[in-house]
Amino acid sequence: MPMKPSGLLKNKTVSFLFRVIRVFAVLGTATAVAVFLISLKAEPEKTAVKDILPGVTVLTVHPETRIMTVEAFGTVKPRKSVNVAVEVPGRIIHLHPSFIEGGQIKKEEPVARIDPRSYELELYASRVRVRQARLDIENFEQDVKNLKQDIVLSEENLELVRKELERVKTLTRNQFASQNSRDRAEQAYLQAKMQFQSLSNRLLLTDTRMTTKKAALAMAEVDVQKAALALERTRIQLEFDGLVLEKSAEVGEYVNPGQILGVVYEAGKLDVDVRIPIEKMRWITGLSESQALPGVKIQMTRSNGPVGSGWTGRVARLKAGIDERTRTLPLTIEIDPPGPDHPSFFHLKPGAFVTCTIIGESVDNLFVLPRHLLKTGDIIFTVRDGRLKMKRVTVFRKFEEEIYISDGLVPGEEVVSSPLPGAVEGMAVAVRNPAGETGSK
């Protein structure tokens, strides 16, 4: 028999009330447990809040003496490099055994020899021409002596003929001689006079002819010197101890004047061209166009680090002008050859890249600090009596990771060396490390 609607509604109401009562029972139980637990908790002890000071590390600064240096970079090049060239044509008959790339040739050793046979023959022929010219002069001098004697005889003959003419003229006037005799006497006188005049004229020309012959002798002697010089030039040698950079000839090759056999540079004489920014020139003292600056340290730079203990040199000269593109002043540094106890110089070759440290003036009373400690506006944080003090300083120079301060600090002052966010003038700080450190630490 189906349930009536009133009975069905009654059952739903009872079920709902039961669920509500169950929820309230759970909540009540939980509340009671919570209150019980809270009642068991001990009362917290109340303490006063303390202010925590920001901690800093400091370093104590003292004045130091620093030498101003300027670093520059350059490539090693030979101080004296020559092209070994041919001055006379011919075939190469000899080359020095060390005339190869990297070989060393001593001073005045023959680098190459050109076939000298034709030059020896030319020298012999020119000497023969000199002897011929001298014999010609000797013969001509004897001819001059003979000519002078002929002139004396001709003059005596002229005087005799003149006297004979006078005698014939006297006889003709007295009619003791015919007119034909007088004509013959006059003709003989004229011939004698012409002979004397001809010999006298020849004597006047002897000085000119002697000058010509002496000039010919001088030219022959010049030819001897030229032939001797050409023969000497078949032997090519160096005026210094050299190292071979390049070689471009072989034995048996025919060469012409001006042809280059190779390139050689003077051993132990190396230079470095560097460029110094204009603003860094103020740190180099005593440098002028007429005075070199000693004390330049050269150190070779390699991919695997420095080689040897470095080299010394000097600023030999300044270039004439400033590079307009880079605004730098070019300098030439001459590297001093080391002594026999410095084997690393063997590794210093043309083309090596080196770092040059130019030593300048020495400056006293500088405070040296790490560069990161300098704040905006040239401010340095210091600590005095537990309070932060911001001091404006005079920066003498910024060099690599350091700064040199010339004014604004006093000896023994403590400089904050750790970060300090939110720094305010006069704020209290706590120093963490003991005093006594120096600015170089």
- pLDDT tens column, 145-167: 998 898 899 888 888 988 888 88
Residue 235: CB atoms within 10 A of its CB come to 14
CA distances from 35 to 22, 24, 28, 31 (A): 20, 16, 11, 6
- State residue 41's pLDDT score: 67
- State residue 290's pLDDT score: 42
- 75 φ, ψ to 5°? -115, 135
Q: Are the C-beta atoms of residues 374 and 403 closer than 8 Å to each other? A: yes
Q: Are the C-beta atoms of residues 29 and 36 closer than 8 Å to each other? A: no
Domain assignment present for 363 = yes
Give CA–CA dist 264/246, Å, rounded: 7
Nearest Cα residue to 189 out of 168, 203, 174, 170: 168
- pLDDT tens column, 114-137: 999 999 999 999 999 999 999 999
Give me 372's structure tokens. 């990161």
My answer on whether 432 and 402 are in the same domain is yes
Domain assignment present for 4 = no
- State residue 1's pLDDT score: 43
| Domain containing residue 127 | 117-233
- State residue 344's pLDDT score: 53
My answer on whether 289 and 257 are in the same domain is no
My answer on whether 320 and 369 are in the same domain is yes
Q: Going by C-beta distance under 8 Å and a sequence separation of 6 or more, which residues neighbour residue 25?
A: none
- pLDDT tens column, 55-114: 889 999 999 998 888 888 888 899 888 999 999 999 999 999 999 988 889 998 999 999
Total number of domains constituting the chain: 3
Of 231-235, 254-258, 436-440, the poorest mean pLDDT is in 436-440
- pLDDT tens column, 355-367: 888 877 788 999 9
- State residue 304's pLDDT score: 43
- pLDDT tens column, 291-346: 445 556 666 554 444 444 577 788 877 777 788 788 888 888 888 776 555 545 55
My answer on whether 131 and 108 are in the same domain is no
Give CA–CA dist 238/111, Å, rounded: 7
Which pTM value belongs to this model? 0.60
Give CA–CA dist 55/72, Å, rounded: 42
Residue 275: CB atoms within 10 A of its CB come to 16
Give CA–CA dist 301/61, Å, rounded: 34
- pLDDT tens column, 16-69: 777 777 777 777 787 877 777 777 766 666 665 556 788 889 999 999 998 888
My answer on whether 380 and 423 are in the same domain is yes
My answer on whether 70 and 100 are in the same domain is no
Q: What is the mean pLDDT of residues 370-386?
A: 91
Give CA–CA dist 379/364, Å, rounded: 22
For residue 249, give the CATH number of its domain.
2.40.50.100
Cα of first residue to Cα of last residue in the chain, in angstroms, is 105
Residue where a domain stops, chosen among 179, 209, 233:
233
For residue 430, give the CATH number of its domain.
2.40.30.170
